[in-house]
Amino acid sequence: MKEAVSVEEVINRPEVVLIDVRTNSEHQKGTIPGAINLSLFDEEERGEIGILYRMVGPAEARIKGLALASSKLTRLVESLQKYYHREIVFFCWRGGLRSQALASVLKLVGFKSYYLEGGYKAYRRFIINYFSEYEYKQKFTVLEGLTGVGKTEVIQALQRIGEPALDLENLAGHRGSVFGHIGLATRRSQKDFDALLAQELEHLKDYKYIIVECESRRIGNIYLPAPFFEAMKKGVRILLYDCLEARIKRLVATYLAFKQENFFLIHEAISLLQPRLGKQKTALLQNFFKQENYKAAVNFLLQEYYDPLYHFPACPDKNYPLSVWSGEPEKAALEIKDYLKKIT
């Protein structure tokens, strides 16, 4: 590869090591999937260089940047020794001083190092164009069902048997309801979600169909790309169903596995339901949780809030071409796979 590489070259070479040399806050707002954050400057230093660039000029800003970076170069090189025999691509915001400087220094000491032309800004532009130009040739299959039937478990079982299934909630870092963030480590940024979704679509582009869980366009703080969501709306619908008792058990296990850590978040989420449930029902629900009567709380939520909200059938329904019991996700996945093979 030449010293400066394009986004397309990086996308087509997944074996390269991507190093994001921007600050942690820049990295958190969005990065390239799989990139390692190795900041050349901290937030204060970046701000200082930015002020110099605006108030004095680019030459003075570069000199200041060089002075700040020089004391860190040995440490940075040592931290990358494990990648000495691999190709490394550095990137910053625009493919400027930070990434070029590190690529040059590492090349001098024998690394196969390069920088991303146009930086993360060019990558972000590539992702935006990807969704606007993507042709949805695959037929979407959408798994529908009441809250707690285990749609995500069936999606994951489909993935395990090699079916082209997308776990949108995992990509978003959110399960899509007021409780959707509880029990999950971090939420994704919109930019990271877009990048991960584009990566998944590229992997699945040669399949005849794509399987997804029924979602609204918004999943927590994430929005599905409009063309993608429109393709979902036109897809084949498959109903998943399970009994109320199993749904309650599944939801208790999902949201209350770490009840101490999640209790405050649950309390906060219940408060957001008051406009729909009213003060009396909200207080009753809060009391169930305080008494650790989790089965009663989840049962109350399903029957008073979620089931009336979504209106999906609780048992097999003739309005669906296929209704599948979701109590055993692996069996459900195989049944869905067999059905889709017949109709595609």
Beta strands 222-223 and 218-219, pairing class: antiparallel
Residue with tokens 């776990």: 167
User: Is 32 exposed, middle or buried (CB count within 10 Å of its CB: 0-12, 13-18, 19+)?
Assistant: buried
CB atoms within 10 A of CB 161: 12
Task: Quickly list H helices, the chain.
Answer: 7-11, 24-29, 43-55, 58-70, 73-79, 97-108, 119-133, 151-160, 168-172, 190-203, 226-233, 244-255, 259-271, 274-277, 279-290, 294-301, 307-310, 329-343
CA 340 – CA 344 distance, rounded (Å): 6
Count how many residues are written for the chain: 344
Active site residues: 92
Say whether 269 sits in a helix, a strand or coil. helix
Residue type (1 letter), 136: Y
Tokens 């918004």 belong to residue = 218
In sequence order, what are the beta bridge partners of 140? 210
